[in-house]
């Protein structure tokens, strides 16, 4: 109630591996990690940061082959027996990422779960060499840009902003991705200023803007309470810089009276 | 301990976010799906025990269910059930149980999106008695079970996209006081829900029509927003000779697409594919597309040699090689995608092959070149997943999805 035991809130996989096995598998990765570290050192000496010009777009994730999909994780309520939805991320016939599945709002009769019906896609946490946690730095950009082909349903975009302390582990900044539907691709640009703070599925009273130099993940959720298959084809997800967008936060920031917001 | 309430995020998604909402009165950041109301359940048992002892009114949950056991299920019957509960006495004993039972039955009665009904059941709570009179009562959730009940009711409103009004606020204020958790939850709903109510760039009426033709028109018009020169027309198949089906076709095509059809080579077949799914809130429409295979990307224009003095080039001063390609090329319309050229979309009343054939015939009046091009009718398509065959055999291609 007052602290978090682990960043996954008890929803991690239940299979525990022996320590010797973990050490053995860890040593296998030593080679790749050292290589990564070498690159990082080289990069530091090169000292050639990204210089973002107006109108620049950076495709952060391009979902065009099987290898690109390994950077993503699909979860749904059926994973932990809390519902009957299912979903997957595959390569579509046209060669793009395809987030599809079925949403079911049927609630399992265990007396514990109140509502059900979501399927979620989340990118893996960026890491430096030797599995050290790292962040994506989008502070030079103003918009999230994505090229998708949806089915007319609404999805939720979640920018993970996990920090050091446990209270921030579940911080997520969200906005809705509206899809037009139809055979045409749609290019969507959403200003980062529009993303609002939520945690564990609850929109927070005290809102702050997203920390763009501390992005830990990006997620797309399907959960619009329509019992039907969903389909969202994703070409790429990236960031865009528009200097004319000067809004920093789209929601009211005045102080509410005491005891009104928590 | 600061009790916090928060909006339920998943509610945001539903129906263009007409519903966002809120607030469990548990601590800080509550999980979405799992109810954490243990403190409240314990108070519930105490409440139940007390009721058993006083033995005045032996109403069990079975008798409460009886209020909603009517064969006829509609709004009027539901309202009468609420009124009947009110007549049991001025104490309104067991109103929490009754409200929970009512909430469970709302969908069966088809009133789960009706604000009036929510106000009716919230109004069943006794007024005045539960308003805290000192700061300790206020801080420690006076009448927790009743407050949680009101919060759950508001949350159900939120999930169903029902926006409360000021009358709802007055009911809550008169029941629990100004600074209670249900009133806070109401405040959060009134802050967030209107923000997203009309946020969609492709707005749909709050309750989309049930008529298949109207839905198809909305769907095709929505898909056609991609090109401002599009027009949506409703065609009748009985104007085509030899047509077997007598039905309607909602066709959407833009001037750009007509131009593309005119430019198509007559030796390569084009395809009618579908039906694909498009959702208008919870309504599903199946649509078809007319698609030609993608053209190779336009050839970049070669730089022309203006003054050829024996192919003199001096790279040091920046003279370019005449053979070098440039990035300039033919502008590509939005319909020419890498997975095909979209030449038109339609939805028909029967979704049958025959109605699609009629569509192509009717398109020939505005696209004369179509008469020369072979047209194939296929189901499989790289553009999307087609709907199941059994949905095709329905009389109408629109189907309502139970929520």
Q: Where are the beta strands (DSSP E) in B205-339?
A: 230-236, 248-254, 270-280, 283-292, 336-337
CA distance B306 to B319: 12
Would you say residue B35 has pLDDT above 90? no
Q: What is the pLDDT of residue B30?
A: 38
Tell me how far apart the alpha carbons of residues A153 and A223 are, in angstroms, rounded to a whole number: 9
pLDDT tens across the length of chain A (262 residues): 788 888 888 887 778 889 999 999 999 999 999 999 999 999 999 999 889 999 999 999 999 999 999 999 999 999 999 999 999 999 999 999 999 999 999 999 998 999 999 999 999 999 999 999 999 999 999 999 999 999 999 999 999 999 999 999 999 999 999 999 999 999 999 999 999 999 998 999 889 999 999 999 999 999 999 999 999 999 999 999 999 999 999 998 888 777 777 6
Which chain B residue shows the shortest CA-CA distance from A92? B382
pLDDT for B400 beyond 50: no
Contact predicate B176/B183, CB 8 Å:
yes
Helix B115-122, helix B144-159: angle, nearest 10: 180
Burial class (CB in 10 A: 0-12, 13-18, 19+), B92: middle
Residue B22 pLDDT: 36
Q: Give the CA distances from residue B17 to residues A118, A148, B191, B199, B291, in Å, rounded to whole numbers and listed in that order.
A: 15, 20, 12, 8, 34
ipTM: 0.91
User: Is the minimum CB–CB distance between A113 and chain B shorter than 8 Å?
Assistant: yes
Q: pLDDT tens, A109-145?
A: 998 999 999 999 999 999 999 999 999 999 999 999 9
Nearest by CB to B4, from A82, A205, A233: name it: A205
B206 confidence band (pLDDT: 50, 70, 90): confident
Chain A residues whose beta carbon lies within 8 Å of the beta carbon of residue B179: 259
Is B33 an interface residue toward A (CB < 8 Å)? yes
Q: Could you read off the pLDDT of B107-121 as tens digits, one per residue?
A: 999 999 999 999 999
Residues in A closer than 8 angstroms to B184, CB to CB, are 260
Kindly report the pTM of this predicted structure.
Answer: 0.83
Best residue in B1, B3, B11, B12 to probe A by mutation, most A CBs within 10 Å?
Answer: B12
Out of A155, A176, A260, name the one closest to residue B199 (CB).
Answer: A176
């Amino acid at each position: 109630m007052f602290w978090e035991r682990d960043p996954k809130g008890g929803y991690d996989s239940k299979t525990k591996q022996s320590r010797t096995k973990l050490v053995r598998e860890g040593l296998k990765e030593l080679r790749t990690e050292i290589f990564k570290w070498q690159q990082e050192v080289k990069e530091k000496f090169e000292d050639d940061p990204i210089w973002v010009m107006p109108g620049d777009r950076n495709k952060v994730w391009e979902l065009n082959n099987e290898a690109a999909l390994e950077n993503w994780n699909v979860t749904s309520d059926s994973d932990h027996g809390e519902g009957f939805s299912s979903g997957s991320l595959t390569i579509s016939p046209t060669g793009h990422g395809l987030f599809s599945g079925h949403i079911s709002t049927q609630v399992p009769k265990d007396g514990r779960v109140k509502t059900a019906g979501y399927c979620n896609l989340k990118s893996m946490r960026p890491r430096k060499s030797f599995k050290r946690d790292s962040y994506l730095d989008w502070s030079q950009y103003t918009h999230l840009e994505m090229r998708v082909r949806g089915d007319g349903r609404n999805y939720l975009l979640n920018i993970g902003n996990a920090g050091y302390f446990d209270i921030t582990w579940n911080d997520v900044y969200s906005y809705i991705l509206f899809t037009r539907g139809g055979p045409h691709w749609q290019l969507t640009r959403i200003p980062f200023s529009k993303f609002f703070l939520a945690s564990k599925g609850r929109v927070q009273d005290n809102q702050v803007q997203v920390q763009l130099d501390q992005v830990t993940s990006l997620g797309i959720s399907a959960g619009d309470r329509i019992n039907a298959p969903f389909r969202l084809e994703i070409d790429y997800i990236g960031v865009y810089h528009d200097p004319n967008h000067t809004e920093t936060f789209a929601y009211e920031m005045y102080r509410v009276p005491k005891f009104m917001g928590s | 301990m600061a009790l916090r309430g928060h909006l339920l995020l998943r509610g945001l998604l539903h129906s263009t976010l007409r519903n966002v909402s809120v607030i469990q009165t548990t601590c800080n950041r509550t999980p979405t799906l799992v109810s954490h109301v243990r403190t409240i359940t314990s108070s519930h048992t105490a409440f139940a025990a007390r009721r058993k002892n006083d033995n005045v009114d032996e109403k069990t949950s079975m008798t409460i269910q009886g209020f909603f056991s009517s064969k006829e299920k509609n709004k009027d019957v539901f309202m009468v059930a609420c009124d009947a509960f009110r007549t049991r006495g001025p104490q309104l004993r067991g109103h929490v149980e009754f409200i929970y039972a009512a909430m469970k039955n709302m969908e069966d009665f088809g009133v789960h999106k009706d604000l009036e009904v929510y106000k009716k059941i919230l109004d069943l709570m006794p007024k005045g008695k539960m308003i805290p009179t000192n700061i300790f009562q206020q801080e420690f959730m006076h009448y927790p079970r009743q407050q949680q009940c009101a919060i759950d009711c508001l949350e159900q409103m939120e999930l169903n996209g029902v926006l409360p009004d000021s009358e709802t606020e007055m009911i809550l204020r008169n029941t629990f006081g100004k600074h209670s958790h249900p009133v806070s939850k109401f405040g959060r709903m009134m802050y967030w829900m209107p923000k997203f109510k009309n946020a969609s760039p492709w707005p749909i009426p709050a309750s989309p029509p049930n008529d298949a033709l109207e839905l198809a028109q909305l769907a095709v018009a929505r898909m056609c927003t991609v090109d401002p020169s599009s027009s949506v027309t409703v065609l009748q198949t009985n104007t085509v000779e030899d047509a077997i089906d007598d039905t309607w076709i909602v066709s959407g095509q833009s001037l750009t697409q007509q131009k593309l059809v005119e430019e198509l080579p007559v030796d390569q077949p084009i395809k009618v594919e579908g039906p694909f799914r498009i959702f208008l809130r919870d309504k599903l429409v199946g649509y078809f597309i007319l698609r030609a295979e993608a053209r190779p990307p336009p050839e970049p224009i070669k730089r022309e040699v203006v003054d050829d003095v024996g192919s003199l080039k001096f790279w040091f001063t920046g003279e370019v090689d005449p053979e070098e390609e440039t990035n300039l090329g033919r502008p590509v319309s939005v319909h020419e995608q890498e997975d095909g050229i979209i030449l038109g979309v339609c939805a028909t009343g029967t979704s049958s092959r025959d109605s699609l054939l009629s569509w192509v015939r009717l398109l020939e009046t505005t696209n004369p070149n179509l008469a020369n091009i072979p047209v194939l009718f296929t189901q499989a398509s790289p553009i999307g997943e087609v709907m199941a065959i059994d949905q095709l055999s329905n009389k109408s291609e629109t189907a309502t999805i139970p929520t």
